[in-house]
Chains A and B, each alone.
Chain A
Amino acid sequence: MQTFHADVIIVGAGGAGLSAGIAVAEQDPSLRVALVSKVYPMRSHTVAAEGGAAAVIRAPDTLEDHFRDTVSGGDWLCDQDAVDLFVAEAPKALTRLEHWGCPWSRAEDGRVQVRSFGGMKNERTWFAADKSGFHILHTLFQTSQRFPSIQRFDEVYALDLLVAEGAVGGLTGLSMQTGEAMVLLAPSVIIATGGAGRVFPFTTNGAIKTGDGMAMAYRAGVALKDIEFMQYHPTGLPGTGILITEGARGEGGILVNKDGYRYLQDYNLGPPDPWPRRKAMEMGPRDRLSQAFWHEQKKGRTIKTSAGDDVVHLDIRKLGEKFIDERLPMVRELSRAYVGVDPVVAPIPVRPVVHYTMGGIDTNIDTATDLAGLYAAGECACVSINGANRLGSNSLTEILVFGTRAGLQAADRARSQVDRPATNWDAQIQASFGKVSGLMARTAGNESIVGLRGQLHGLMEGAAGIYREDAPLRAACAEIAGLRRRYRELAISDHSKVFNTQLFQALELGAMLEIGEAMVHSALARRESRGAHQRLDFPQRDDVQFLHHSIARSGGQDAPSIEHKPVNISRWPPGERVYGGAAK
């Protein structure tokens, strides 16, 4: 077993984790940063984000507009003090990235170019063609190399937090390349491990997005906030779930059903013309567009592909080849490669796909959890600026703003803890590695990873999809509890130490079961419809009973408990979300 001492441990090396690491290193080069990730930084899923990052850059856009779009987009479940902070910090965060070399798309005069995304009153999205997340991640990773105080632990899987007297003290991990047990100790730990889209079967999320970091905090007693809110992005490719950016609609693409009809006008998003225009039709928010698809499918107005998937058509032909190649090259590349459609000459088949985990580790506005020394930022966290439905292009900005903030907070705490007394962690370390060796030693069992995972997927899609209701959610709660019991009987066939991906799949499955269970319990308890959480049995938003955050706490091997927490409504009382003709 190897032990490392650091001042700040960061788990996850995507956009939020790298931002945090750079922030610590810039503020105080004497602090030792341990950057732990189960993949090399440039494999992190930030890489797949396409459309861009929101920040107010010039008139007529204002911070107030960004605030209002975000809060109404989130159906008033956002914490307004956090949103205020977020929109104010956003331009600085994106400018900082520009100073580090990010190749933002430019106007002729050399200024940064912005474009529209769904639910936005003004053009606000900075973009690097349609590979914004890729460029942001690589700019951050490359910049992070400048700082010798950042020590990377690439391909190390974080297992459990070490906790004593209400404070975190480090974590246990496993080297994937050697199988060696590792202990990292530090007074500050930041979790930045991304979302949990892989809990669902059909998702834009990469294989790595299994919610491990969320589950690690949850097991340590930290709550998951608003974890029932899962965003379906309206335009994924059938089969693979590959994302087609909202930028395609922002630039003028339209969605049509099997009759060639722009069906969104039937769902309070019209009238269809003039087009393109902001906050209407295809530029409505993602929750509304995905819900409209669901209704079209029920009415039999979607299109059946040869593989049996129901889709609608995203048509960007009007933009022309030159414009598409300049502004949406990845859309063209992906469509040609994965569905055999050149969008210059034919419409792209698309359908809603699980995309973003609005909820996550409960933090305050400073990214701190209620476990002293533990911080969380990015998609794994819930600050909350996304509320019940995240606006497109707020998440890339969020990882920068709150990643940096987490780094600064963690650095402050590390400096205040220099004289902390040593803690004996032996018992916790043994318990943590004991779970792994138990799994490795089990040679006989009737449960398989693919079997349990497949059943979890079926339950999540069936009970916690675009529309939900009481009976299936209740059943899913019971059945996931059963899957968790059966998981304890899981045996794996690979007992080697070196790069044992089956072992890590098994550990990831354990995390997914815990997160999935928290999701269905939280969804069951929220007896209203708000943003991405739509209940067929409770179709209205209910501010009297449910204008609060859901707080799911782990019950260990038993079911989670669901509590409440007030939403910060500092200055804009709940109102109606208005899109389409009446939108301002």
Chain B
Amino acid sequence: MNPSPMPVSAVGANALRTITLEVFRFRPEQDPLPSWQTYQVPCREEWVVLDALNYIKDHLDGSLSYRWSCHMAVCGSCGMMINGKPILSCKAFVRDFPDHIRVEPLGNLTVIRDLVVKQERLLANLSAVKSWLIPKTPAAADEPYRQTPVQLDQYRHLSMCINCLLCYAACPQVALNEGYLGPAALALAHRYNLDSRDGGTFERMQATASADGIWECSFVGECSEVCPKHVDPAGAIQQMKLASSLDWFARRLGLGERS
């Protein structure tokens, strides 16, 4: 099949800049080892790296595989390592990069093929930490709970997690300990802990304060650095460590459980 010629309308008549995209390739059925493949891509000024990948897919090499959908940094599908850093490819503007861009699958996660990685670890950990509301008091049938804007602000930033796994790719502990729950799952656990409607902190602690939970975090803080939604998982984990310690002391002093 011949690749279609580049339609002028797709790239615009002016402001083209040709970049070299060096892309990680791995097809398990035919490649014993991963390799690098380079493509020359004519880019428009406003393009993101994802647009360049779509150009490759449509016009240069239909076999390149990667995930994407929304193209507006909210579905969390298209995280990749771009020049060594985890980033959403739909938010990585070509204009912010040099003429040579290297694209790899997210770090610390098993590669399925090309730029596609396994995501089951996050999914399993979200369940493990019980990232859902465990009501403090039963809800009235047709009446919403009251929650003031101040109470909402307590956890609102943590609820912004799009599950994109950039923090897993950035975290050294995720690499070292396969069982570690990881930044996003712990941050979402804390999101519910801090919700005025929730009473599940102690229940979640069975996972979050376990050997694979918050104490594994060495507070490098890379997770918060790379988060595209400013969730600050590192901050959440430090808060949980503090709360967990206070809980431990409270129980030693015979004051009962805090939750």
Q: List A residues at the B interface (Cβ < 8 Å).
A: 39-40, 42-45, 47-48, 91-92, 95, 98-101, 103-112, 131, 134-135, 138, 142-143, 145-146, 154, 177, 206-208, 239-240, 242-243, 306-308, 333-334, 337-340, 445-446, 448-451, 454, 491-494, 496-502
- With A106-B147, A493-B63 already in contact, the answer to whether A498 and B28 are too (CB < 8 A) is yes
- With A98-B144, A99-B139, A496-B29 already in contact, the answer to whether A307 and B70 are too (CB < 8 A) is no
Do B143 and A145 have beta carbons less than 8 Å apart? no
Nearest Cβ in chain B — how far from A394, in angstroms? 20
Do B46 and A42 have beta carbons less than 8 Å apart? no
Do B4 and A448 have beta carbons less than 8 Å apart? yes
In the complex, which residue of chain A has the Cβ closest to the Cβ of B73?
Answer: A337
* Contacting residues, chain A, for B4 (C-beta < 8 A): 448, 450-451, 454
Q: A99-B144, A207-B68, A446-B1 are in contact. List 8 more A-B contacts (CB 8 A).
A: A40-B123, A42-B75, A43-B69, A91-B142, A101-B132, A145-B130, A206-B71, A451-B4
Annotate B37-71 by CB proximity to A: 1 below 8 A, 0 otherwise.
Answer: 00000001010000000000111001101111111
With the chains together, A40 CA to B78 CA distance in Å? 12
Nearest Cβ in chain A — how far from B34, in angstroms? 14
With the chains together, A346 CA to B77 CA distance in Å? 31
Contact of A103 among B72, B123, B156 (CB under 8 A): B156
* Contacting residues, chain A, for B217 (C-beta < 8 A): none
* Contacting residues, chain A, for B144 (C-beta < 8 A): 95, 98-99, 104, 111-112
Do A99 and B72 have beta carbons less than 8 Å apart? no
* Contacting residues, chain B, for A104 (C-beta < 8 A): 144
- In the complex, whether B19 has a CB less than 8 A from a CB of chain A is no
With the chains together, A107 CA to B46 CA distance in Å? 39
* Contacting residues, chain B, for A500 (C-beta < 8 A): 65
In the complex, which residue of chain A has the Cβ closest to the Cβ of B159?
Answer: A103
* Contacting residues, chain A, for B195 (C-beta < 8 A): 101
* Contacting residues, chain A, for B93 (C-beta < 8 A): 337
With the chains together, A445 CA to B2 CA distance in Å? 9
Do B71 and A240 have beta carbons less than 8 Å apart? yes
The total of chain B residues at the interface (CB under 8 A) is: 69
Do A491 and B156 have beta carbons less than 8 Å apart? no
Partner-binding segment picked from B111-119, B231-239, B249-257: B111-119
With the chains together, A110 CA to B144 CA distance in Å? 10
- In the complex, whether B209 has a CB less than 8 A from a CB of chain A is no
Nearest Cβ in chain A — how far from B238, in angstroms? 22
Nearest Cβ in chain A — how far from B63, in angstroms? 4
User: Which A-B residue pairs are the 4 nearest by beta carbons?
Assistant: A110-B146, A101-B133, A206-B69, A98-B144
Do A45 and B75 have beta carbons less than 8 Å apart? yes
In the complex, which residue of chain A has the Cβ closest to the Cβ of B132?
Answer: A142
* Contacting residues, chain B, for A105 (C-beta < 8 A): 149, 152
Do A496 and B27 have beta carbons less than 8 Å apart? yes
Do B197 and A240 have beta carbons less than 8 Å apart? no
Nearest Cβ in chain A — how far from B43, in angstroms? 13
Do A98 and B116 have beta carbons less than 8 Å apart? no
- In the complex, whether B145 has a CB less than 8 A from a CB of chain A is yes
With the chains together, A40 CA to B75 CA distance in Å? 10
* Contacting residues, chain B, for A207 (C-beta < 8 A): 68-71
A contact patch SS: loop
In the complex, which residue of chain A has the Cβ closest to the Cβ of B26?
Answer: A498
Do A499 and B113 have beta carbons less than 8 Å apart? yes
With the chains together, A39 CA to B77 CA distance in Å? 9
In chain B, positions 157-171 with a C-beta closer than 8 Å to chain A are 159-163
Nearest Cβ in chain B — how far from A338, in angstroms? 7
Annotate B2-40 by CB proximity to A: 1 below 8 A, 0 otherwise.
Answer: 111001000010010000000000011110000000000
Show 29 residue pairs from A and B whose CB-CB distance is below 8 angstroms, ordered by the A residue. Answer: A40-B163, A45-B70, A47-B74, A48-B72, A95-B142, A99-B144, A99-B145, A103-B159, A105-B152, A107-B149, A110-B147, A110-B148, A142-B131, A145-B126, A145-B130, A206-B75, A240-B46, A242-B72, A243-B72, A307-B46, A339-B46, A450-B58, A451-B4, A492-B1, A493-B63, A496-B30, A498-B27, A498-B112, A502-B57
Contact of B1 among A239, A339, A445, A496 (CB under 8 A): A445
Do B46 and A239 have beta carbons less than 8 Å apart? yes
Contact of A501 among B65, B91, B145 (CB under 8 A): B65
With the chains together, A212 CA to B130 CA distance in Å? 33
- In the complex, whether B180 has a CB less than 8 A from a CB of chain A is no
With the chains together, A457 CA to B20 CA distance in Å? 29
In the complex, which residue of chain B has the Cβ closest to the Cβ of A458?
Answer: B9
With the chains together, A31 CA to B91 CA distance in Å? 42
In the complex, which residue of chain B has the Cβ closest to the Cβ of A453?
Answer: B58
* Contacting residues, chain B, for A308 (C-beta < 8 A): 12
Nearest Cβ in chain B — how far from A444, in angstroms? 8
Contact of A338 among B46, B66, B143, B197 (CB under 8 A): B46
Do A146 and B74 have beta carbons less than 8 Å apart? no
Do B65 and A499 have beta carbons less than 8 Å apart? yes
Do B12 and A307 have beta carbons less than 8 Å apart? yes
- In the complex, whether B107 has a CB less than 8 A from a CB of chain A is no
With the chains together, A338 CA to B51 CA distance in Å? 12
With the chains together, A340 CA to B48 CA distance in Å? 13
With the chains together, A493 CA to B2 CA distance in Å? 10
- In the complex, whether B212 has a CB less than 8 A from a CB of chain A is no
In chain B, positions 124-155 with a C-beta closer than 8 Å to chain A are 126-127, 130-133, 135, 139, 142-149, 151-152, 155
Do A100 and B132 have beta carbons less than 8 Å apart? yes
Do B75 and A493 have beta carbons less than 8 Å apart? no
- In the complex, whether B94 has a CB less than 8 A from a CB of chain A is no
Nearest Cβ in chain A — how far from B155, in angstroms? 8
In chain B, positions 70-113 with a C-beta closer than 8 Å to chain A are 70-77, 91, 93, 112-113
Residue among A110, A334, A445, A446 having the largest count of chain B Cβ atoms under 10 Å: A110
Do B127 and A106 have beta carbons less than 8 Å apart? no
Contact of B152 among A95, A103, A449, A496 (CB under 8 A): A103
* Contacting residues, chain B, for A240 (C-beta < 8 A): 46, 71-72
In the complex, which residue of chain A has the Cβ closest to the Cβ of B13?
Answer: A308
Nearest Cβ in chain B — how far from A34, in angstroms? 16
With the chains together, A392 CA to B15 CA distance in Å? 37
Contact of A494 among B62, B130, B133, B147 (CB under 8 A): B62
With the chains together, A98 CA to B140 CA distance in Å? 11
Do B29 and A497 have beta carbons less than 8 Å apart? yes
With the chains together, A138 CA to B160 CA distance in Å? 9
With the chains together, A395 CA to B30 CA distance in Å? 45
* Contacting residues, chain A, for B29 (C-beta < 8 A): 496-498
Do A99 and B135 have beta carbons less than 8 Å apart? yes
In the complex, which residue of chain A has the Cβ closest to the Cβ of B145?
Answer: A98
* Contacting residues, chain B, for A43 (C-beta < 8 A): 67, 69-70, 75-77
In the complex, which residue of chain A has the Cβ closest to the Cβ of B51?
Answer: A240
Residue among B46, B65, B112, B144 having the largest count of chain A Cβ atoms under 10 Å: B144
Contact of A334 among B67, B72, B162 (CB under 8 A): B72
Do A206 and B70 have beta carbons less than 8 Å apart? yes
Do B162 and A134 have beta carbons less than 8 Å apart? yes
Contact of A131 among B58, B74, B142 (CB under 8 A): B74
* Contacting residues, chain A, for B12 (C-beta < 8 A): 307-308
